[in-house]
Amino acid sequence: MTVILVRHGRSTANTSGTLAGRSAGIDLDDLGREQAEGLVGRLADLDVAAIVRSPLLRCERTVAPLAEKFGLEPLVEDALVEVDYGRWTGRPIKELLGEPLWKVVQQHPSAAVFPDGEGIAQVQARAVAAVRAHDARLAAEHGHDVLWIACSHGDVIKAVLADALGAHLDGFQRIVAEPASVSVVRYTPTRPFVLKMNDTGSDLSGLRGHGGKPAGVAESEAVPGGEVGTGGRADNGS
């Protein structure tokens, strides 16, 4: 199974320089709305089986054009919600730079716990569990390999990607997930494969035939040299 991780489009908080967190009513700005519409063109040629999103408004707005395109009702998943930044929520980023915790978040995020909020390790645990649960559910429902979309937030997506890469959480700040970016992970019975990260503009129709392997190569095995087979439905089973 293959999940397309979509970060919401640019929001009004992104442009104001504040840490929105779970603040209510944070919408997309004009560029963010354009980015949401642009996702339709980038994903239009794919056979998307499901859309799962964070409960926050900016994710709802981002997937709305995709939902209309594919004729799908997005499923709200609380475990994909933005980080609970606690008392940091709503504060200007420039003020947070002087907080002792800022350096921990940058250098040792696995130990970072936001005041009256949650820890980044908690974020990774809940988000990865949710992605894998939906992946398993869709495999059971469809009985074959499908593509599906999960729309979430920057730090949440970075945490999921760190897990998929087999990287320690302390390295997740090396990963970038820009507004309206697409990252793609294929889950197999024994390991994930990271197919794309922070893609902000390409045509993603190539995902339709991805995953074919030479005869005798298991779906969860890598091929030396990166060689893959051609044609056919994506062999992305989980």
pLDDT band at 116 (very low <50, low <70, confident <90, very high): very high
How far, in Å, CA of 56 to CA of 21, rounded? 10
Residue 42 CA to residue 4 CA, distance in Å, equals 12
Percent of the chain with pLDDT over 90: 78
List, for residues 141-193, the tens digit of each pLDDT value.
Answer: 998 889 999 999 999 999 999 999 999 999 999 999 999 999 999 999 889 99
DSSP H helical ranges for 29-151: 30-43, 57-70, 93-96, 100-107, 120-142
pLDDT value for 207: 78
Would the pTM count as exceeding 0.85? yes
- Spatial contact of 91 and 17, defined as CB atoms under 8 Å apart: no
